[in-house]
């Protein structure tokens, strides 16, 4: 893949090389789950001699690609890895052994692997082999890179991000503009980062609008459709069989599911109450580690999901976009769970603070 191989980098510090590792790792955005994104660099005499990233679970780790690039030049080189090299036989053999065999002199690590079967054992193994090891270079950046992996590894639950958009004057919007949703645009890039997206079927458009990217090889997240209120007709645009296998509908007894939906081969689950526990179980079964809670379309569809995510503390991140439009939905029409969003997220009220000071 070329990249920066051969680039002379005299005088650059460890942070520079680690940031390049993160950049490399992100080439596999959305494609590595349940594995983390990892990048690796081999540097010798101020020159990059090897680059690699983990492309997909089941395929070799980042270190293996970088070592392949470098060949015999790996001897006495410094290896930079965004995540602690593994020391176990998983789908692939241990990277620590590969690094030791290649006779690297030093290993600089972004963060320790939270995976209990690795956790510091990789570092120990390298040190015991006489290799100089530094841990924690650009650690925050490396943690952000695999935030979903870390969360999922430590809690066994998917990493959940809530997103919604507001107009310039702060009104809630239940739809996205075409500029935002087009392939390669902001929204399609965001989608690509997640294994699954939770949507209201009312937000679907003819062109299966939530297709993350038209680029071949790009990650297309699973679509978890929440059809709750009777006012929410389920109209699924015509899908190929391949696309159908990536859609599931959760609905409740009160909601009439159009017979047409089942004909399309889409799995439909009818629950007494739509709930996140059931949805998370489904995610676990399908190996989905990160979920985007995409608040648009019929906002009422999200009532229980939002309630659960606040009650059980299941949200890890909130993204609020401000779109260049005026006005939106009036707050009074929001479901209860959305109305008190600020309070539920534990945000402080700045206006009351300022007025009490004056
Ligand atoms: C590394 N470099 O590029 C990655 C690592 O089943 P496997 O063999 O792919 O092992 C998966 C585990 O390996 C994963 O849970 C994490 O602990 C580590 N990922 N380690 O040294 C890499 N992707
Ligand atoms: Zn490995």
Ligand 1 pocket, Cβ-based, cut-off 6 angstroms: 35-36, 38, 54, 57, 61-63, 83, 85-86, 90-92, 95, 113, 115, 118
Per-position b or e across 162-176, b if 16+ CB within 10 A of its CB:
bbbbebeeeebbbbb
Q: At what angle do helices 303-311 and 276-285 cross, to 10 degrees?
A: 90
Q: Which ligand is nearest to the CA of 62?
A: 1
pLDDT at 166: 87
Is 248's pLDDT higher than 80? yes
What residues flank ion ligand 2 with Cβ within 5 A? 61, 86, 95
d(CA 221, CA 29): 12
Taking the CB of residue 26, how many other CB atoms lie within 10 A of it? 15
Is residue 123 a contact partner of residue 133, using CB atoms and an 8 Å limit? yes
Choice from 35, 37, 108, 149 to test ligand 1 binding pocket (greatest atom count within 8 A of CB): 35
What the block records as the tokens of 304 is 């229980």
Which residue is listed with tokens 């019929």? 298
Catalytic sites, residue numbers = 63
Computed over every residue of the chain, the mean pLDDT equals 86
Looking at mean pLDDT, say which of 40-49, 229-238, 256-265, 266-275 comes out highest.
40-49
DSSP, res 293: E
Average pLDDT over residues 306-316: 91
No. of helices (H) and no. of strands (E), the chain = 15, 13
Q: Which ligand is nearest to the CA of 90?
A: 1
Confidence grade of residue 207 (pLDDT, cut at 50, 70, 90): low
The Å distance, Cα 93 to ligand 2 centre, comes to 7
Confidence grade of residue 6 (pLDDT, cut at 50, 70, 90): confident
pLDDT digits (tens, 9 = 90+) for 157-200: 999 999 998 888 888 888 887 666 677 778 888 988 999 999 88
Q: What share of the chain is helix, strand, coil (3-state, %, to 5)?
A: 35, 20, 45
Residue nearest to atom 10 of ligand 1 (CA): 90
Lowest mean pLDDT among 78-87, 89-98, 135-144, 225-234: 225-234
d(CA 275, CA 126): 45
Confidence grade of residue 262 (pLDDT, cut at 50, 70, 90): low
Q: What is the ipTM of this complex?
A: 0.98
Supply φ then ψ for residue 134, to 5 degrees.
Answer: -115, 135
What the block records as the tokens of 71 is 């060949």
pLDDT digits (tens, 9 = 90+) for 38-89: 999 999 999 999 999 999 999 999 999 999 999 999 999 999 999 999 999 9
Nearest to 173 by CA among 304, 303, 321: 321
Is residue 62 a contact partner of residue 35, using CB atoms and an 8 Å limit? no
Residue nearest to atom 13 of ligand 1 (CA): 86
| Angle made by CA atoms 8, 12, 14, in degrees to the nearest 5 | 120
Is residue 200 a contact partner of residue 192, using CB atoms and an 8 Å limit? no
Distances from the Cα of 143 to the Cαs of 111, 146, 147, in angstroms?
Answer: 7, 5, 6
Sheet of strand 47-53, all strands in order from the earlier edge strand to the far edge: 47-53, 39-44, 78-83, 106-111, 132-135
Which residue is listed with tokens 């009818």? 270
Which residue is listed with tokens 């001699």? 49
pLDDT digits (tens, 9 = 90+) for 286-301: 989 999 999 988 888 8
Choice from 90, 100, 108, 111 to test ligand 1 binding pocket (greatest atom count within 8 A of CB): 90
pLDDT at 281: 92
Atom of ligand 1 nearest to the CA of 93: 8
Is residue 179 a contact partner of residue 171, using CB atoms and an 8 Å limit? no
What the block records as the tokens of 277 is 């526990």
Which residues neighbour 274 within 8 Å (Cβ) at sequence distance 6 or greater?
A: 226, 228, 250, 251, 252, 304, 305
Is residue 289 a contact partner of residue 195, using CB atoms and an 8 Å limit? yes
Q: Is 216 buried (19+), middle (13-18) or exposed (0-12) by CB count in 10 A?
A: exposed
Atom of ligand 1 nearest to the CA of 117: 17
What the block records as the tokens of 235 is 């109209």
Is residue 203 a contact partner of residue 294, using CB atoms and an 8 Å limit? yes
Percent of the chain with pLDDT over 70: 85
Is residue 63 a contact partner of residue 85, using CB atoms and an 8 Å limit? yes
Is 237's pLDDT higher than 70? no
Taking the CB of residue 211, how many other CB atoms lie within 10 A of it? 16
Average pLDDT over residues 202-230: 73
Q: Specify the pairing of strand 132-135 against strand 159-166.
A: unpaired
Residue nearest to atom 21 of ligand 1 (CA): 85
Choice from 50, 59, 61 to test ligand 1 binding pocket (greatest atom count within 8 A of CB): 61
pLDDT at 358: 45
Considering the entire predicted model, what is its pTM? 0.88
Q: Which ligand is nearest to the CA of 52?
A: 1
Lowest mean pLDDT among 143-147, 161-165, 203-207: 203-207
Which residues neighbour 354 within 8 Å (Cβ) at sequence distance 6 or greater?
A: none
């Amino acid at each position: 893949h070329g990249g920066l191989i051969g680039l002379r980098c005299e005088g650059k510090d460890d942070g520079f090389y680690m940031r390049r590792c993160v950049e490399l790792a992100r080439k596999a955005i959305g494609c590595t789950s349940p594995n983390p994104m990892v990048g690796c660099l081999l540097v010798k005499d101020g020159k990059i001699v090897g680059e690699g990233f983990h492309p997909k679970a089941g395929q070799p780790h980042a270190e293996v690609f970088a070592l392949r690039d470098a060949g015999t030049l790996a001897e006495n080189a410094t290896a930079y890895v965004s995540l602690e090299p593994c020391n176990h036989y998983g789908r692939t053999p241990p990277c620590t052994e590969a690094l030791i065999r290649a006779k690297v002199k030093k290993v600089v690590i972004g963060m320790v692997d939270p995976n209990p079967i690795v956790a510091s054992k990789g570092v120990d193994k390298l040190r015991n082999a006489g290799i100089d090891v530094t841990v924690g270079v650009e650690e925050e950046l490396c943690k952000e890179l695999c935030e979903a992996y870390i969360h999922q590894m430590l809690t066994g639950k998917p990493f959940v991000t809530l997103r919604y958009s507001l107009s310039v004057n702060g009104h809630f919007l239940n739809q996205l503009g075409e500029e935002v949703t087009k392939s390669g645009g902001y929204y399609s890039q965001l989608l690509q980062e997640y294994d699954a997206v939770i949507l209201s079927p009312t937000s679907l458009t003819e062109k299966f609008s939530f297709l993350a990217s038209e680029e071949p090889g790009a990650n297309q997240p699973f679509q978890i459709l929440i059809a709750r209120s009777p006012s929410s007709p389920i109209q699924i645009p015509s899908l190929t069989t391949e696309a159908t296998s990536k859609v599931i509908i959760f609905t409740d007894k009160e909601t009439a599911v159009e017979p047409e939906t089942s004909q399309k081969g889409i799995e439909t689950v009818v629950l007494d109450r739509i709930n996140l526990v059931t949805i998370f179980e489904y995610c676990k079964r399908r190996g989905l580690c990160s979920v985007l809670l995409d608040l648009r379309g019929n906002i009422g569809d999200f009532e229980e999901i939002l309630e659960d995510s606040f009650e059980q503390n299941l949200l890890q991140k909130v993204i609020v976009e401000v779109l260049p439009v005026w006005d939106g939905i009036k707050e009074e029409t929001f479901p209860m769970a959305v109305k008190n969003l600020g309070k539920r997220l534990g945000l402080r009220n700045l206006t009351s603070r300022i007025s009490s000071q004056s």
